[in-house]
Structure 1
Amino acid sequence: MKVSTSQPFQIIYSILNHEYLGYLFEAFVVQLDDKQELTLLNQNVSIKNINEFAHGLDENDLQLVKLIDYLQSENIYKKFVGSKKRTVVDFFLKVYDQQKGEKALQEIIAAYVEKIKAEMLPLLLGKQLFIMGGDGNPIWQKVEVLSEKATVFFHFMRNEENTHYYPTIKYEGEKIDFQYKNAYIVCDEPAWMILENKLYHFAKEVDGKKLRPFLKKKFIVIPKTIEEDYYRKFVTSIISMFDVRPKGFKILNEKYAVIPILNLAEQKSHQTVLVEANDVDVQKEEDVTLAISLSFQYGKFTFRFDSFSTEVNVSMEKNGDDYVFHKVERNLTFEKATLAKLEALGLELKNGRMILPKSDALALIQKNYAELTATGFTIEQSVEEDAKKYFLGYSNIEVNITEGNDWFDIHAIVHFGDFEIPFLKLRNLILQKKREFTLPNGEIAVIPETWFTQYSELFAFIEHHSERDGFILNKHHLSLVQDLQSESLASAVLSRKLEKLRDFEEMQTYQLPKGFTGSLRPYQKAGYDWMRFLNDYHFGGCLADDMGLGKTVQTLTLLQSQKEQKNNQPSLLILPTSLIYNWEMEARKFTPELRILTYTGTYRDKNIEVFDNYDVVLTTYGIIRIDIDLLKNYRFNYVILDESQAIKNPSSYITKAVMQLNSRNRLVLTGTPLENSTMDLWSQMTFINPGLLGSQHFFRNEFQVPIEKKGDDVKMQRLYSIIKPFMLRRHKSQVATELPPKIESIHYAQMTEQQQKEYEEAKSYFRNLILEHIEEAGMAMSQMVVLQGLTKLRQLANHPRMTEPDYQGDSGKLEDVMEKLDTILEEGHKVLIFSQFVKHLDLFKERLDQESRTYAYLDGSTHDRQAQVEKFQNNEDIQIFLISLKAGGLGLNLTAADYVFILDPWWNPAIEAQAIDRAHRIGQVNTVFTYKFITKNTVEEKILALQQSKQRLANELITTEESFVKSLTKDDVLALLE
């Protein structure tokens, strides 16, 4: 019969002894009579029906019913059963079989039951508890749940033969007789005990296992033979946790002031090797770490800190036959505050300990050494016989820099405490990446990691003076000097004139040469002034203005000024072959007084003495490579490289050749100072200012790898800081404000049905092929097949005939381009059509020929390059100019066009911008409209998004096709081939 929820009822809890699980609890609701007393009408309450009685329960009741439910036999079965084929009864019979039972599982279940009961029992305070009768009556015997905690005292009585050990219990000051009274423990951790229908719990979380032996025993006897070991292990533990009443030995309660201690101990995984380096013992170690541990000294006792530290520590001392236990009270509040203080200093100890690479650990200690010792810390090092003792005190470098006539003089002093170390020895150690050396007192000094970062460039770039003791630094390292000065890493005295070099806007102005027949825009005049200033200091420079901003005219103005300053040595201008004519034309126009020699052609006169009769010698990169053994013997005023990205590869023959040229000044011109990687910068900067970026090896380790592989923004900013005074880069949007607007839009084309079929088949083939290569050889070894596959797909997106000459179908892109072209031509506009694929241009030539349309054409095989340009610029009937990427990216002024078609997306967004700038340059008066044609649902569409995610070096690191593919991850490739 069910309890009525509309009538008064009371929830009660009943304890029972489970055959396998020990003492458990059940929850019941019991109907109340008119006198509000319990009746025999009751009903079990579980999580399933608790909502019916919720209005009569509180939060503790709800939680108790939930916990009781966890310990139901069927729920224990569900939690721990290994096979669902067994029934609940079978499960318990098998697990708890006396001969073949699963002992390990029994222990796991017991621990789980204890955990739930420990959470449950405190919730019974204030509740009605009963012992369940044998007939299942839940209110058979009432149990009083005592609200106060009882106290347990552990007694040890030592005599000549043995030691007696037993507990006593007090409740509210009265001793409780619990032995031989049928008491029983219902929960062990912590102990809850029922004695004479009263439920006790205990202060200090007494363990039930320590009481259970004495329920039916007066005391335990510890024989004399095991006394010392027993006292050291068991008695010490009991004293640290509970109240102990000793007889026959002493317990001393002790309080002391606390001193925090940091201990450093070396942990080696490899042996230490001593090597000689400039009379200094250097410790070269691999994988050596230091452990920093925190402990606290209380009087003569020292305790290690961890998260589980107790409020007292007990140690045993034996004097003859007497035992003394020292019970030391610890100040855990102070200890935790000390740990927090260390964490604020960067010492994040876990459980009182941390392990760091040795240099990092020592840097942390040295950085905070003064504060730690001032606030009472003792810092100790390992006392092992072979352990090294490290110098932990103050260290610093004082660097003073003064400007000389041709270089900076470097004066530096290095201190480790009271010891002064010769600067030369320290420099050699840092350059060799060695961190340790032995001080005169035997301590090991470790060079701080920050010095490797802060001074590595200074140490790499300075040179030992050839005539006197000391160091010098080339003046083109001005940026490094100013950065050290601004970061308070060095004091420097510089002339006001040199200080201005980094901010060329404040540069002094120079008169334009009288023989210059044109006019310079303000930014061009600023560029001329900058080059003149570099010339005064014999610095090399890189003029890296955007395409179309007049690098040629600025350079010719400089060369004319050199002529008028009576610099009689000729200057050598090295160009791509296609630009020779352009430079000749510009020189005739703006600097007609310059005597120009064009040193090119198969039948050139190889008599270099004839150079003396000219102001400027024009030649090509190819000629330099062939004639370098001859030309390196001539002293030029300037050697100037146009399109200087031609020397981006340090190991190329052209780069090695130009590096051998002899000149008073050097200058490079480029619209794309970086094409492939930061190493492009090294080549060009090393040419104009040898040593500016250190050796190739140094540059790769210090800049290229951190920037390109690790995305190190700090290193990137340092690199730009070094080169900034010698690179002048203005973007068109900044300076050519008179240019008309440039409007760019993307036109998406749909593939034809047949084209899409061809594309999808190829995509599936290359996806499988590429993935197979990546799995077998890795991404790095699969770049060629990736490039091959992506190129094939890009060509199919343009027109399948580019890969399959027998293809008879159409191309969606070609039709869209022709349709747009018809509209533009009818309105009288001129258009540049760019593609990086000559085969693609061939398809358009074929189509234009079929429609009898005239056009200009330029690719790498075109010989009459300038004639094609002039035909398009000057002939109103020719409205179309087909141009290949490689042939048309440089040296073209095509302002007659006001439309640009980009037929296919390029890996290199900067080259795409250069193509547009053939029309959008000084001299253009019309708005320039650019259309990028992208085939939908192809790799072309995905290239656009991927380019943005791969843009690096603040949009200055421009990627070629090969470098773009090298940057791709496996996930990138999969995304392209989706």
Structure 2
Amino acid sequence: MKVATTQPFSIVYSLFQHEYLGYLFGSYVVQVNGKGELTLLNQIVSSKNVAEFSKGLDENDFELVKAIDAIQQDTIFKKFNPKKLPALDFFLKVYDPQKGDKLIQEAIAGYVEKWKVDILERLKSKDLYVMGSDDNPAWKKIQWMPERAKVYFHFKRNEENTHYYPNIKYAGERLHIRNQNALLVCDEPAWLLIQDKLYHFDQSVDGKKIRPFLTKPQIIIPRTVEEQYFQRFVVPLVAAYEVYADGFEIKYETAELIPILHLTELTHTSNKVATLFEPTDDDDIIATDDTSQVVLELSFRYGNFLFKFDSFAANANVSLEKSGDSYLFHKVRRDIRVEKAKVLLLKGLGLDMLQGRKKMARSEAFEWLRTHHFTLKEAGIQIRQSAENGKQYFLGYSSIDISFEEGRDWFDIYAKVRFGEFEIPFIKLKNLILARKKEFTLPNGEIAIIPEAWLTAYSELFAFAEYDPDSQQFLLRKHHLALVQEFAEDSLAKVIMSRKLEQLRDFKEIDENPLPEGFVGTLRPYQKAGYDWINFLNSYRFGGCLADDMGLGKTVTTLAMLQYQKEKGANRPSLLVMPTSLLYNWQLEAQRFTPQLRVLVYTGTYRDKNPRQFDDYDLILTSYGIVRIDIDMLKNYPFHYIILDESQAIKNPSSHITKAVMQLDARNRLILTGTPLENTTMDLWTQMTFVNPGLLGSQSYFRSHFQVPIEKHNDEKRSQKLYSLIKPFLLRRHKSQVALDLPPKVESVHYCDMVEEQEQRYEETKSYYRNYILEQIEEEGIAKSQIMVLQGLTKLRQLANHPRMIDEEYEGESGKLEEIQTKLEELLAGDHKVLIFSQFIRHLTILRRYLDTRGIRYAYLDGSTTDRQAQVELFQENDEIKIFLISLRAGGLGLNLTAADYVFILDPWWNPAIEAQAIDRAHRIGQQRTVFTYKFITKNSVEEKILDLQRSKQKLFNELITTEESFVKSLTKEDIIDLLA
């Protein structure tokens, strides 16, 4: 029968013995009669039905029922029965006396003990009974003994053996436990039930130390095993409890506590193991074969004894000393409160020690010791290192003080480096810091570890500084003023600098210069600001990069500056280098805006290679190809300015053109580009190194400190550091910021569906490359699979455009081509002109065939076009030519095509910044109409996925310093899987 919840009832807790699991608890509800007495009507309460009896239970009851459920047979069976044996078979097999599974038994015992500790603490305020043989849960009530019992361990040693027994007292009276039907309800900590009284102890007593004496008066230890027994059993017993000895001595030691951090270098040959208790002269320690790490281990010295840290340490530690036939136990009282305070102090300083040990990278450990040197000293914590270390390290305080003073052409660097009592010349650290080597031998033979913070803070200084052996002084070129200012802002150095030079970094309060009298025309406000900026750089002989968006007038700004230089008395000509296609445009613009400049176009097969002719001119226009061919002659001529237009032409530092340009001689240098960075940050290094040699360090330094961290690891701090270095010498304004008088630019994406046969070929190719590429990535890694990734993505992009791009025999249609044709027919019917860009010449060829069959005239430009200017003029000036087909690579830069008011991008380029430059062929100064751009994207293709990736990585392309080598190299494995999905 069930207990009625409508009638009085009470919850009771009962102790019973399980055949295999030992003593357990049960929870029951018992009906109460009219006299308030418990009846025999009872019912088990579990988490499943406890809610029914909620009116008679408190919060603690609910927690108890839950805890008691956790140790019941069904719960144990489910938790420890991975083989899904039937319940009876499980317990018979696990607890078989001969073949039982000891590991599972121990696991179950530990689990049950843990729960019993929690249950007993909660039961103290509840009624607890012993269960009767008739399963009556309230057979005999257990009396909770309010005071805690004490246990004293006794040893009596005689000539033959040693007798060991405990003495348990409660309220000053001895408790007799032998043959009293006493039982241990819980072992750790011990709860002892004698008759109907339940005892707890004043300190955590292990029940296993009491259990043998429930049936025997004492344990006898023969002389043959006593030393081993004393060491293994009696030593920890003396440490934890009160022990009375007869036949040997226990000596109590007291001494001042001294915390010690031991530093031990982990080496391949160190295999020593730490012990709990050891004399002070022995610094053995656990080690691994990791030669780049050290161990910091916390110990506490009391007089002549040293104890390893132990989070569960007793108030005393014991060591055993044997002399002849006598034993002496040294019991050292420990101040656990103070020990724990020192541990908390170390944790607060960032040294969270697990089991008293902390394995750390060597540089990290020494940096921590250096940073907290004075705090540790004040706290009385001593630092020691093992005498067995292969090296003795300097463990004191180190410091570095630096100051910069602006000179005429340089910053003079003054530095003091100290390791304890030793002052070290700054020059001695240079090679170590640049090589990121941290060990430095002091005059006394100790090894000082250069702090990681120094490597980070001063590696750039050493990479850029130059050493003057005569003055034994480090010098820093003035164009590194951003680095100097950062040292000042980060409180790493004192700086003495003129206010005028400080203004350059933020491009504020730069003095204005009047426009030259010989300049014909006007400059917009932002162009005038650029003009003043270039002249300010000139006053300090700094080079610069004018990197405004295409179409904002870099040409006219540069010409105004050159005219100003002429009127100020420049007596040497300037050399302006550019792609061949731009020579004619520069010549026309110079005639228009600066007619007083004497201009020589130095090009052509029959050019006069006599440099003396340059003396009669103010400006020499030539191409990159000519510079490469004539460099042996040109490098010996001192120019006033060397100016590179479309300077991304020298982005590859190993190209012949770059090597040639770097040899040119000039007082001043300037580069012009709308895309200072196209593919990798190395593009930036080459161009900025040209204008300000040494600004970004050597190529190898730049690669390791900037390119790899930025491109491979997306290191935002490195990006910001790089930007801060180049910021004073790079002026970049976007069209949206300054060209407010330009008409609107409307960009839209036009999605196209594939035709059925095109889609079938696309899916077959995608399936092939997906399997092949992913398999190669698994085997070779993503870095070695980039060529195959690029090949596969290119094939898919071509199929998304038109299958005929990879199969001339294809006779079907293309969904994208049909859409392009429809849009073109609409535009041709009105007064519109359109630029059509594709990166695939085959795509342009397919479109040319369509236009040819329709008899539609058009202009055309790709890398093989020889009459570029004629094609530009044909489109710009002939009203009958409505279409200009252009290869993105060949015509994305340097063209002024303001006759167009529509731009078609037939296929998305990896980097949208390149597309933007193409669009700017039409949307530039001189354009009077709104420019409409259509980007044709094939739905459900890799083109659509590329568009999504461009949007997700928008930040990478919007900022001057992109964090990707190229779009393909930026792809993660997940990106590739998504592209090929």
The corresponding residue for 1:346 is 350
Q: How many Å separate the matches in 2 of 1:777 and 1:46?
A: 57
Match of 2:719, SS state, is helix
Q: How many Å separate the matches in 1 of 2:904 and 2:623?
A: 31
Match of 1:682, SS state, is helix
Q: How many Å separate the matches in 2 of 1:885 and 1:726?
A: 29
Alignment of 1:211-610 (within 5 A): 211-224=210-223, 226-247=225-246, 258-269=257-268, 287-316=291-320, 325-384=329-388, 386-465=389-468, 467-610=470-613
Distance 1:30 1:522, change over 3 A: closer
Distance 1:181 1:770, change over 3 A: closer
The 8 Å contact of residues 31 and 41 in structure 2, kept in 1 or not, is answered as yes
Q: How many Å separate the matches in 1 of 2:486 and 2:727?
A: 12
Match of 2:208, SS state, is helix
Q: How many Å separate the matches in 1 of 2:367 and 2:874?
A: 70
The corresponding residue for 2:283 is none
1:836 maps to which of 823, 834, 839? 839
Q: How many Å separate the matches in 2 of 1:310 and 1:248?
A: 25
Q: Render the CA deviation track for 1:940-962: whole Å, top value 9, x for unaligned.
A: 11111212444566734678998
Alignment of 1:894-909 (within 5 A): 894-909=897-912
Match of 1:154, SS state, is strand
Q: Render the CA deviation track for 1:225-263: whole Å, top value 9, x for unaligned.
A: 554544443233223333334445555666665443322
The 8 Å contact of residues 28 and 45 in structure 2, kept in 1 or not, is answered as yes
Shift of 1:589: 0.6
The corresponding residue for 1:943 is 946
Q: How many Å separate the matches in 1 of 2:801 and 2:442?
A: 71
Distance 1:58 1:959, change over 3 A: closer
Q: How many Å separate the matches in 2 of 1:368 and 1:125?
A: 48
The corresponding residue for 1:881 is 884
The 8 Å contact of residues 519 and 560 in structure 2, kept in 1 or not, is answered as yes
Runs (5+) with no aligned partner, structure 1: 272-284
Per the normalisation by structure 1, the TM-score is: 0.92
Q: Render the CA deviation track for 1:592-639: whole Å, top value 9, x for unaligned.
A: 122222222223233333222322222211222222223223232222
The corresponding residue for 2:935 is 932
Of residues 402-411 and 938-947 in structure 1, the stretch that sits farther from structure 2 once superposed is 402-411
Q: Render the CA deviation track for 1:826-848: whole Å, top value 9, x for unaligned.
A: 44233222222222223333333
Runs (5+) with no aligned partner, structure 2: 271-288
2:784 maps to which of 781, 786, 789? 781
Note if 1:862 corresponds to 2:839: no
Q: Render the CA deviation track for 1:3-52: whole Å, top value 9, x for unaligned.
A: 54444444444544444333344455444444333444445555555555
Alignment of 1:618-767 (within 5 A): 618-767=621-770
Of residues 643-652 and 304-313 in structure 1, the stretch that sits farther from structure 2 once superposed is 304-313
Distance 1:593 1:466, change over 3 A: farther
Match of 1:853, SS state, is coil
The 8 Å contact of residues 680 and 964 in structure 2, kept in 1 or not, is answered as no
The 8 Å contact of residues 910 and 958 in structure 1, kept in 2 or not, is answered as no
The 8 Å contact of residues 834 and 900 in structure 2, kept in 1 or not, is answered as yes
Q: How many Å separate the matches in 1 of 2:187 and 2:228?
A: 26
Distance 1:316 1:542, change over 3 A: same
Q: Render the CA deviation track for 1:539-594: whole Å, top value 9, x for unaligned.
A: 22211111111111122222223333343322222111111111111111111122
Q: How many Å separate the matches in 1 of 2:656 and 2:54?
A: 90
Q: How many Å separate the matches in 1 of 2:115 and 2:158?
A: 42
What amino acid is the match of 1:152?
V
Of residues 693-702 and 322-331 in structure 1, the stretch that sits farther from structure 2 once superposed is 322-331
Q: How many Å separate the matches in 2 of 1:210 and 1:286?
A: 42
The 8 Å contact of residues 240 and 315 in structure 2, kept in 1 or not, is answered as no
Q: How many Å separate the matches in 1 of 2:426 and 2:799?
A: 64
Q: How many Å separate the matches in 2 of 1:182 and 1:639?
A: 106
Note if 1:164 corresponds to 2:163: yes
Q: Percent identity?
A: 63
The 8 Å contact of residues 679 and 964 in structure 2, kept in 1 or not, is answered as no
Q: Render the CA deviation track for 1:35-89: whole Å, top value 9, x for unaligned.
A: 33344444555555555555444455555555554555454444334544x5433
Q: Render the CA deviation track for 1:135-163: whole Å, top value 9, x for unaligned.
A: 55555555444454332222234456544
The 8 Å contact of residues 154 and 243 in structure 2, kept in 1 or not, is answered as yes
Distance 1:454 1:871, change over 3 A: same
Q: How many Å separate the matches in 1 of 2:961 and 2:473?
A: 41
Of residues 318-327 and 3-12 in structure 1, the stretch that sits farther from structure 2 once superposed is 318-327
Q: Render the CA deviation track for 1:408-440: whole Å, top value 9, x for unaligned.
A: 333323222221212222223323333222222
Per the normalisation by structure 2, the TM-score is: 0.91
Q: How many Å separate the matches in 2 of 1:454 and 1:706?
A: 16
Distance 1:432 1:170, change over 3 A: same
Shift of 1:106: 3.5
What amino acid is the match of 1:164?
H
Alignment of 1:911-930 (within 5 A): 911-930=914-933
Of residues 210-219 and 562-571 in structure 1, the stretch that sits farther from structure 2 once superposed is 562-571
Shift of 1:287: 3.8
Note if 1:871 corresponds to 2:858: no
Distance 1:692 1:139, change over 3 A: closer
Q: How many Å separate the matches in 2 of 1:250 and 1:638?
A: 96
The 8 Å contact of residues 12 and 130 in structure 1, kept in 2 or not, is answered as yes
The 8 Å contact of residues 126 and 147 in structure 1, kept in 2 or not, is answered as no
Of residues 577-586 and 207-216 in structure 1, the stretch that sits farther from structure 2 once superposed is 207-216
What amino acid is the match of 2:297?
S
Distance 1:796 1:90, change over 3 A: closer
The 8 Å contact of residues 956 and 962 in structure 2, kept in 1 or not, is answered as no
Q: How many Å separate the matches in 1 of 2:28 and 2:727?
A: 84
Q: How many Å separate the matches in 2 of 1:47 and 1:775?
A: 50
Equivalent residues, number: 963
The 8 Å contact of residues 269 and 288 in structure 1, kept in 2 or not, is answered as no
Match of 1:914, SS state, is helix
The corresponding residue for 1:276 is none
Match of 1:506, SS state, is coil
What amino acid is the match of 2:211?
R
Shift of 1:647: 0.8
Q: How many Å separate the matches in 2 of 1:630 and 1:38?
A: 117
Of residues 207-216 and 127-136 in structure 1, the stretch that sits farther from structure 2 once superposed is 127-136
Of residues 614-623 and 544-553 in structure 1, the stretch that sits farther from structure 2 once superposed is 614-623
Q: How many Å separate the matches in 2 of 1:138 and 1:418?
A: 79
Distance 1:595 1:296, change over 3 A: same
Q: How many Å separate the matches in 1 of 2:475 and 2:5?
A: 97
Distance 1:481 1:108, change over 3 A: closer
The 8 Å contact of residues 956 and 963 in structure 2, kept in 1 or not, is answered as no
The 8 Å contact of residues 678 and 957 in structure 1, kept in 2 or not, is answered as no
The corresponding residue for 1:280 is none
Q: Render the CA deviation track for 1:358-379: whole Å, top value 9, x for unaligned.
A: 2221111111212221233222
Q: Render the CA deviation track for 1:440-496: whole Å, top value 9, x for unaligned.
A: 233222222212111112212222226443232223222222322333323333333
The 8 Å contact of residues 831 and 881 in structure 1, kept in 2 or not, is answered as yes
Q: How many Å separate the matches in 1 of 2:232 and 2:781?
A: 58
Q: How many Å separate the matches in 2 of 1:83 and 1:462?
A: 70
Distance 1:430 1:833, change over 3 A: same
